[in-house]
Structure 1
Amino acid sequence: MKIRAARSEDLDAIKALLEGNGLPATDVTHDLLPDFSVAEDADGLVVGSVGLERFGTSALLRSLAVAQSARGLGLGHNLAVHAEGVARAASMSELWLLTTTAVEFFQRAGYTVVNRNSASEELLASTQFSQLCPASAVCMKKES
């Protein structure tokens, strides 16, 4: 599997992957793609995605999804590590995320559960925090 920067032509595949995994895709636009990465299989098909949405020196880790056909290979972990490296290279000091299903996965990756209201006003006003992710979603944070 190859992880690379997302390209404009990947948008539909990313959205389909997110929707197939029950994740929000309505706010994923061409404007967000510069901070997205995708994993592609040997045939060049997009089988994974991860994105960062920047807010000052913090970023929202979002849209981490792996196609059913590529699960069990460590790809989710590799995508998260890749996004964390991108965040560090861009001098992001904190990574935040919201999840309803992957708390244990992210805890193994070093994220801690935090009170959702401890996020910055900018993060709280984001579409993910304010509209797309339910109030029951677990908020997590990691220093990068």
Structure 2
Amino acid sequence: MIKIICARPFDYDRILALLQHGKLLTDDVMAAGTRYWVAQTDSGELAACAGMEFGEDAVLFRSLAVYEDYRGEGLALRLIERALDEAKAEGYHHAYCFSTRAADYFQRIGFQQVPVTQLAKALPDVPQVMRFAAIGKLPGEKAWWKALR
């Protein structure tokens, strides 16, 4: 059985390894205020991870990765639902994410494509937005939004 839990400090190296394995950006992934969840087997093996950065009224979902052996088991959706449920419970009203590779997936689970400028305006001070702005990556990104109700 695989359970979704909040990441603990000893999970961070494993999260970084999974993100690198998936060729995802790892700059600022452990910035202060960023929260992670992991999908973990009963034996403690890391199967998947996801993170979230927090603004005033919105959150930025980031760093979703699933090891190949665990794909097709619904772990990505379970991680997204857990993260968004916690954000909603804490009073956040909007969730955003960047994705150029998983557009169809995010649309299927209720995200709508929005201008990158909307995301950047809603979350100007979160680490991933600041990093993308600093390295000139914002114009080439695709932004996604979902209301948290």
Superposition TM-score, scaled by structure 1 size? 0.90
Ranges in structure 2 where 5+ consecutive residues have no aligned partner? none
Distance 1:32 1:48, change over 3 A: farther
Match of 1:108 in 2: 108
Q: Distance in 2 between matches of 1:74 and 1:119?
A: 27
> What's the CA shift string for 1:56-110, capped at 9, x where partnerless?
1100001111111110111111111111111111111000100121111110110
Q: Distance in 1 between matches of 2:33 and 2:125?
A: 16
Q: Distance in 2 between matches of 1:19 and 1:134?
A: 21
Match of 1:121 in 2: 121
Deviation at 1:137, TM superposition (A): 1.9
Superposition TM-score, scaled by structure 2 size? 0.87
- Give the partner amino acid of 1:6: A
Q: Secondary structure at the match of 2:131?
A: helix
> What's the CA shift string for 1:12-65, capped at 9, x where partnerless?
0001111111111121226345x2111002321111111110001100001111
Match of 1:14 in 2: 15
Match of 2:65 in 1: 65
**Is the aligned partner of 1:4 residue 2:8?**
no
Is the 1:96–1:142 contact (alpha carbons within 8 Å) kept by the matching residues of 2?
Answer: yes
Match of 2:25 in 1: 24
Match of 1:141 in 2: 145
Matches within 5 A, 1:64-103: 64-103=64-103
Distance 1:126 1:135, change over 3 A: farther
Is the 2:37–2:51 contact (alpha carbons within 8 Å) kept by the matching residues of 1?
Answer: yes
Bigger mean CA deviation after superposition, 15-24 or 114-123: 114-123
User: Aligned-pair RMSD on alpha carbons?
Assistant: 1.7
- Aligned pairs, how many? 143
Q: Distance in 2 between matches of 1:44 and 1:32?
A: 25
Q: Would you identify which runs of 4 or more consecutive aligned residues in structure 1 move more than 6 Å?
A: none
Identity value in percent: 29
